[in-house]
């Protein structure tokens, strides 16, 4: 296949949601449409179960299974759809943030009753850093939820993005009648329908048509007429350019578990979503259509089974064609590498691939050569940007309990942080190590792996911080005075950048106010925030 054809054919995206909003259910319905799975429940079985929080080995086992479905590819309407799975478990949020660097757009699932939730806000913040185009699917309309207009206001308010409904719900909960498609002026009547894909769609080009009253009842018909008038008055026409720029999110209403509103979502997605996009590097911008291959590693999955110590590095192809058994340049290590068994993750079965194109993700078996953000090229010396570290939320000091094993501990913690399991900061005096994660679970994982894989003996002591921000300033005096005042809250990250630990958001706000010449960055990649 030619590169250009392959690029035009591909759509690589992620589905994001606060846990329980319906991400897994929606993913499954999309896969059913694409024929990638035959039975409902196939994805669900791979979901990390919430009840398992206390048993991380169990979670790891489940994560192991879910590697197979880390990328779910299927064909639909002549397009190759690559869905990059993002772990719903909040302790793996950092994994999700990084996966978002490898997608070209996202579908955000909202629970109609809960509206915007804490994880929804965080995920959207990450999307907005890269101006990722977003489509919103308001789920669970078969249950009593918030009023649709208030939901739209809440989305605009809390997510700081303009919205434009493309379908509109008629009633909700027990009285949910269906949705009216504002774009093609058709009425999609709701059915409790867990298996079938077809449904009743009636074209109502004129809302004054009495058929509407017959189908949904006079009261709902009148309500719809009024509401559509309001929508047309309040919201501008849908503008694809604004969507592609990440400024405007089209909104759909439906019920994923009932397979309702999913087809409209998918059909619109195919029409409006972007094909694989290029990426910025430290040298220049790489266009997907360039003939030479480039790609970056955005996720590393380590196998905890001591009998299989392999890791899988997930590589997103940015440009050119990736081929099996071909030498590529590992830029950071300045060495040539070739891959005998690059793997694709097509729904359930992993298979070795011969070639892959921009937008695709391949799994590379790795024995410790890769870290998150690594770049492969055909020889050009460049490094992809935009795979930053995000502020951890839980901080612990790592203490070595066995001075004879300090080398092992050092090696272990460095490798684990390369994999992105956690971040490490060094504080003075004494080169003390502070480990930061987004979830408690990671500490169990780290401790277990340091003991079992590296033979180290360590202990974690909690620190009272909740945020780490990277600080820079053009005013050396102010930095010096900040250092004097906050010395015991300062550290260096692995790349020697200065980091400030704050105990609360309030204290962080105070610091920002007191030191106006210092910039406090939310991610390790400062330039990204100003794009």
Site of interaction with ligand G4P (CB under 6 A):
17, 19-25, 44, 47, 88, 139-140, 142-143, 255-258
**Closest distance to ligand G4P from the beta carbon of 465 (Å):** 29
**Continuous segment of H or E residues that includes residue 513:** helix 505-514
Q: Of 92 and 470, which has the nearer Cβ to ligand G4P?
A: 92
Q: Of 108 and 353, which has the nearer Cβ to ligand G4P?
A: 108
**Closest distance to ligand G4P from the beta carbon of 255 (Å):** 3
**Closest distance to ligand G4P from the beta carbon of 88 (Å):** 4
Q: Of 138 and 422, which has the nearer Cβ to ligand G4P?
A: 138
Q: Of 60 and 142, which has the nearer Cβ to ligand G4P?
A: 142
User: DSSP 3-state assignment of 167?
Assistant: strand
Q: Of 88 and 392, which has the nearer Cβ to ligand G4P?
A: 88
Dist. CA 210–CA 289, nearest whole Å: 52
Dist. CA 377–CA 255, nearest whole Å: 43
Dist. CA 334–CA 342, nearest whole Å: 21
**Closest distance to ligand G4P from the beta carbon of 44 (Å):** 6
**Closest distance to ligand G4P from the beta carbon of 15 (Å):** 8
Dist. CA 27–CA 269, nearest whole Å: 14
Walk across the sheet containing 349-352 and list its strands: 335-337, 328-330, 375-377, 294-302, 311-319, 361-366, 343-346, 349-352
Q: Of 264 and 366, which has the nearer Cβ to ligand G4P?
A: 264
**Closest distance to ligand G4P from the beta carbon of 165 (Å):** 18
Q: Of 88 and 359, which has the nearer Cβ to ligand G4P?
A: 88
Q: Tell how many helices (H) and how many strands (E) occur in the chain.
A: 14, 31
Is the bond into 429 cis (omega within 30 degrees of 0)? yes
Beta-ladder partners of 461: 397
**Closest distance to ligand G4P from the beta carbon of 257 (Å):** 3
* Half-sphere exposure (Cβ direction) of 238: Cα atoms closer than 13 Å: 19
Closest among 470, 371, 490, 493 to 421, alpha carbons compared? 371
């Amino acid at each position: 296949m030619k590169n250009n054809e392959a690029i035009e054919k591909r759509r690589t995206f992620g589905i994001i949601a606060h846990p329980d909003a319906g991400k897994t259910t929606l993913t499954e319905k999309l896969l059913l449409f694409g024929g990638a799975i035959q039975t409902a429940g196939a994805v669900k079985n791979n979901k990390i179960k919430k009840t398992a929080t206390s048993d991380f080995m169990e979670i790891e086992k489940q994560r192991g299974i879910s590697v197979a479905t880390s990328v779910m590819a299927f064909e639909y309407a002549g397009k190759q759809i690559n869905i990059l799975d993002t772990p719903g478990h909040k302790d793996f949020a950092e994994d999700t943030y990084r996966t978002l660097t490898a997608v070209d757009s996202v579908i955000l699932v909202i629970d109609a009753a809960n509206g915007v939730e804490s994880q929804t806000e965080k995920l959207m913040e990450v999307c907005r850093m890269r101006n990722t185009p977003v489509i919103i699917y308001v789920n669970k309309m078969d249950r009593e939820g918030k009023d649709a207009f208030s939901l739209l206001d809440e989305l605009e308010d809390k997510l700081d993005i303009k919205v434009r409904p493309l379908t509109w719900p008629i009633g909700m909960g027990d009285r949910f009648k269906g949705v009216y498609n504002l774009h093609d002026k058709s009425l999609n009547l709701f059915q409790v329908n867990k298996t079938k894909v077809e449904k009743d769609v009636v074209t109502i080009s004129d809302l004054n048509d009495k058929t509407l009253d017959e189908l949904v009842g006079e009261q709902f018909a009148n309500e719809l007429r009024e509401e559509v008038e309001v929508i047309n008055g309040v919201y501008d026409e849908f503008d694809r350019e604004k969507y592609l720029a990440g400024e405007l999110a089209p909104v759909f209403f439906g019920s994923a578990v009932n397979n309702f509103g999913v087809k409209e979502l998918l059909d619109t997605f195919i029409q409006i979503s972007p094909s694989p996009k290029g990426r910025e590097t430290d040298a220049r911008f790489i266009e997907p259509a360039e003939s030479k291959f480039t790609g970056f590693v955005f996720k590393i999955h380590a196998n905890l089974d001591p009998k299989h110590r392999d890791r899988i590095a997930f590589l997103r192809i940015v440009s050119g064609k990736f081929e099996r058994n071909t030498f590529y340049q590992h830029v950071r290590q300045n060495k040539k590498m070739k891959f005998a068994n690059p793997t694709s993750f097509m729904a359930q079965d992993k298979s070795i691939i011969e070639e892959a194109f921009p937008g695709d993700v391949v799994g590379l078996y790795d024995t410790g050569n890769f870290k998150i953000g690594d770049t492969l090229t055909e020889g050009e010396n460049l490094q992809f940007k935009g795979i930053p570290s995000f502020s951890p939320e839980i901080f612990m000091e790592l203490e070595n309990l066995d001075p004879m094993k300090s080398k092992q501990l050092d090696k272990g913690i460095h490798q684990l942080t390369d994999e992105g399991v956690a971040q490490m900061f060094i504080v003075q005096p004494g080169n003390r190590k502070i480990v930061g994660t987004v979830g408690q679970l990671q500490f169990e994982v780290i401790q277990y792996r340091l003991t079992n894989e590296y033979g180290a003996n360590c202990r974690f002591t909690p620190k009272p911080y909740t945020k780490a921000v990277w600080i820079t300033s053009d005013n050396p005096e102010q930095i010096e005075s900040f250092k004097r005042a906050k010395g015991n809250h300062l550290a260096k990250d692995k790349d020697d950048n200065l980091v400030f630990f704050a105990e609360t958001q309030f204290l962080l706000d105070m610091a920002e106010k007191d030191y106006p010449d210092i910039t406090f960055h939310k991610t390790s990649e400062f330039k990204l925030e100003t794009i």
